[in-house]
Structure 1
């Protein structure tokens, strides 16, 4: 979990997991782990919205009800607060999801042979055992 939050390789804990803000590298530069298994899809956005945005929305609604500020105040304060509060956690959440996929060997049920055929790997050997 710690490696995922820091954006480090889940196998060796030293190589970088990201090449840019949310783009995952093809292979770990240290141990050579192939990140083809990584498919966090919409998970980071879902967790960011549920865990981060809901409390932020509750705070913005409280400010509106308690103080009734004009719309321009929300435009200058609430909108940037919400944008930063939901965008900043995306990378650590994505790293955590990729690392947990590696640790738990998560893959679609029944797709090992198709995956091996598409990527030219041994169907009897798991892609996590590279």
Structure 2
């Protein structure tokens, strides 16, 4: 990471790159091709997003956390207002889907931006005979 949290001109901080889908190199909004799929490379600066190993690591965490929060809110609403079952279905199914998809975007974007700014790479075995 650059010294003192100072970034090169054009490089957004990790949180901004994650929230808005910005390229971690130039800051252009070119990180995602679909809802949670990365583009092959930045259309503005040519940074290859494929060299970063983000995978689906945040998926399980985010799904569990968002699920727990929404269940707590749904149970609170049910205890206070007692709406019919169809209200719960209409309200919570799309809200859960939207929260998980946006959460995955933010989580995967944060991991990619963090890997880029810290210049993370695959581990290499060092030969001690050299």
Instruction: Tell me, yes or no, whether TM beats 0.5.
Output: yes
Q: Which residue number corresponds to residue 45 of structure 2? A: 31
Q: CA separation of 1:57/1:106 partners in 2, compared to 1, >3 Å: closer, same or farther? A: farther
Q: Which moved more, 1:53-62 or 1:11-20?
A: 11-20
Residue pair 1:4, 1:94 contacting (<8 A) in 2 also: yes
Structure 1 Cα separation of the partners of residues 26 and 125 of structure 2: 26
Residue pair 2:18, 2:108 contacting (<8 A) in 1 also: yes
Deviation at 1:57, TM superposition (A): 1.4
User: How many aligned residue pairs are there?
Assistant: 112
Structure 2 Cα separation of the partners of residues 108 and 9 of structure 1: 21
Q: Which residue number corresponds to residue 118 of structure 1? A: none
Deviation at 1:15, TM superposition (A): 5.6
Residue pair 1:26, 1:36 contacting (<8 A) in 2 also: yes
Q: Which residue number corresponds to residue 115 of structure 2? A: 101
TM-score by length of 1: 0.68
Structure 2 Cα separation of the partners of residues 92 and 104 of structure 1: 18
Deviation at 1:89, TM superposition (A): 2.7
Q: Which residue number corresponds to residue 21 of structure 2? A: 7
Q: Which moved more, 1:97-106 or 1:59-68?
A: 59-68
Cα RMSD of the aligned pairs, angstroms, is: 2.5
Deviation at 1:68, TM superposition (A): 4.1
1:82-101 map, 5 Å: 82-101=96-115
Deviation at 1:32, TM superposition (A): 1.7
Q: CA separation of 1:78/1:21 partners in 2, compared to 1, >3 Å: closer, same or farther? A: closer
In structure 2, the gaps of 5 or more residues are 1-13
Q: CA separation of 1:104/1:74 partners in 2, compared to 1, >3 Å: closer, same or farther? A: same
Residue pair 1:26, 1:35 contacting (<8 A) in 2 also: yes
4+ long deviations beyond 6 Å: none
Residue pair 1:49, 1:86 contacting (<8 A) in 2 also: yes
